[in-house]
């Protein structure tokens, strides 16, 4: 029985030594080992053996990327405005030995270095540049921190400015300025819209007037061309058919009433009126004489002919030309009233006296 006690004690001592000599390091962790108070080595992830009672684990470090958000720090800009800036850092431990023995508290060291670097950068910039140059500040801040933290076994991967808070009075002034800028842009845009609308309306009106004028011009040109072609055809037909001057004179008299259809209360008698009347009078006088002579000859011949011969049909003298009032119509009467009586009576008396025209035509 007494023999079993030392065996049990020895076994427990061996188990304790074995357990103390084994260290299992998780993934992404690093353990710094000290031997008699001096750095010996860094344990990697997995199963590691150490000397019990000689080696001990000093620090356990996580080598994954860390995120550190600092508290807002007051910073003075170049135009003497105090703004509160808070940053976010993304860092990673690259050397566990330097991170444990190079600096006492690497988080505090990074925070203080960030504040001093920000004050140096923002102090050379005004408020407007600070608000609009975040990317530039981030790049310069990362370069400075990465260079300074390299000897601590830490790499700064990224630095971001989370917020820049100016004083409340500056915020109100900025809001008023922004509101004034927005109102200004709104007024400018409204004025531009009205100006563009007026320009488009004026251009539309101008184009409308131009098109209407061009349309009227083309219509007048086409109408004039049509009248010209009609006159050319009439003129050509008259010359091709060799029209009798007597017919032309009669047509001339028939056309006179149409001159008074415009209704302007003024009628001008052409100077060729007496010539046309003279021509028509001569024509009908000649036809009446020829008809009378033919009738007389027919009567003489009929008396000498045999009694059974059929009698010649009676010859009817052509009707005399209608009176001037009937030819010209009521439109000429209304128009002649506006012409002085002396000139109209003199013209008509001269033409009628020259040819001895009776009011109702020629005698039989």
Mean pLDDT (whole number) for 52-56: 86
Task: Please give the pLDDT value at position 305.
Answer: 40
Q: In the predicted model, what is the mean pLDDT of the chain?
A: 75
Spans of all domains in the chain: 4-62, 65-166, 245-291+317-355
The reply to whether the predicted model has a pTM over 0.75 is no
CA pair distance 186, 331, nearest whole angstrom: 70
Q: How confident is the model at residue 93 (pLDDT cuts 50, 70, 90)?
A: very high
State the DSSP H helix or E strand holding residue 87, giving kind and residue range, or none if neither. Answer: strand 82-93
Domain range 65-166, its CATH number among 3.40.640.10, 3.30.479.30, 3.40.50.1000, 3.10.20.30 = 3.30.479.30
CA pair distance 21, 122, nearest whole angstrom: 54
Q: Which of 46-50, 288-292, 353-357 has the highest mean pLDDT?
A: 46-50
Mean pLDDT (whole number) for 100-111: 88
Lowest mean pLDDT among 163-172, 187-196, 245-254, 306-315: 306-315
Task: Please give the pLDDT value at position 263.
Answer: 56
Name the region of 101 (left: φ>0; alpha: ψ -120 to 50; beta: rest). Answer: alpha
Q: How confident is the model at residue 312 (pLDDT cuts 50, 70, 90)?
A: very low
Tokens of 121: 């950068």
Task: Please give the pLDDT value at position 353.
Answer: 43
How much of the chain is in helix, strand and coil states, percent to nearest 5?
A: 60, 15, 25
CA distances from 238 to 234, 248, 319 (A): 6, 9, 26
CA pair distance 359, 290, nearest whole angstrom: 22
How, if at all, do strands 73-76 and 46-49 pair?
A: unpaired
CA pair distance 344, 269, nearest whole angstrom: 8
pLDDT, one tens digit per residue, over 271-292 is 555 666 666 676 666 655 655 5
Check whether 299 has a pLDDT greater than 80.
no
**Residue 213 CB neighbours (<10 A):** 10
Check whether 198 has a pLDDT greater than 90.
yes
């Amino acid at each position: 029985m007494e023999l079993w006690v030392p065996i049990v004690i020895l076994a427990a001592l061996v188990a304790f030594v074995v357990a103390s000599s084994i260290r299992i390091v998780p993934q992404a962790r690093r353990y710094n080992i000290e031997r008699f108070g001096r750095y010996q080595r860094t344990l990697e992830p997995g199963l590691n053996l150490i000397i019990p009672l000689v080696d001990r684990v000093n620090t356990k470090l996580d080598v994954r990327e860390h995120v550190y958000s600092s508290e807002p720090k007051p910073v003075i800009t170049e135009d003497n405005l105090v703004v509160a800036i808070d940053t976010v850092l993304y860092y990673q431990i690259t050397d566990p030995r330097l991170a444990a023995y190079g600096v006492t508290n690497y988080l505090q060291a990074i925070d203080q270095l960030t504040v001093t670097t920000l004050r140096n950068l923002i102090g050379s910039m005004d408020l407007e540049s600070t608000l609009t140059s975040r990317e530039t500040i981030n790049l310069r801040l990362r370069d400075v921190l990465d260079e300074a933290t390299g000897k601590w076994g830490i790499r700064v991967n990224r630095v971001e400015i989370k917020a820049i808070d100016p004083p409340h009075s500056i915020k109100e002034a900025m809001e008023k300025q922004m509101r004034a800028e927005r109102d200004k842009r709104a007024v400018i845009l409204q004025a531009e819209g009205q100006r563009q609308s007026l320009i488009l309306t004026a251009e539309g009106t101008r184009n409308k007037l131009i098109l209407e004028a061009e349309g009227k011009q083309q219509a007048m040109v086409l109408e004039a061309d049509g009248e010209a072609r009609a006159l050319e055809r009439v003129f050509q037909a008259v010359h091709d058919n060799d029209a009798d001057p007597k017919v032309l004179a009669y047509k001339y008299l028939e056309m006179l009433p149409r001159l008074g259809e415009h209704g302007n209360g003024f009628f001008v008698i052409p100077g060729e009126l007496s010539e046309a009347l003279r021509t028509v009078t001569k024509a009908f006088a000649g036809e009446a004489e020829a008809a009378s002579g033919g009738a007389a000859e027919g009567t003489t011949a009929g008396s000498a002919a045999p009694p059974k011969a059929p009698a010649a049909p009676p010859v009817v003298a052509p009707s005399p030309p209608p009176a001037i009032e009937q030819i010209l119509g009521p439109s000429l009467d209304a128009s002649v009233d506006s012409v002085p009586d002396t000139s109209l009576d003199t013209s008509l008396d001269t033409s009628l006296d020259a040819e001895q025209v009776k009011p109702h035509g020629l005698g039989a």
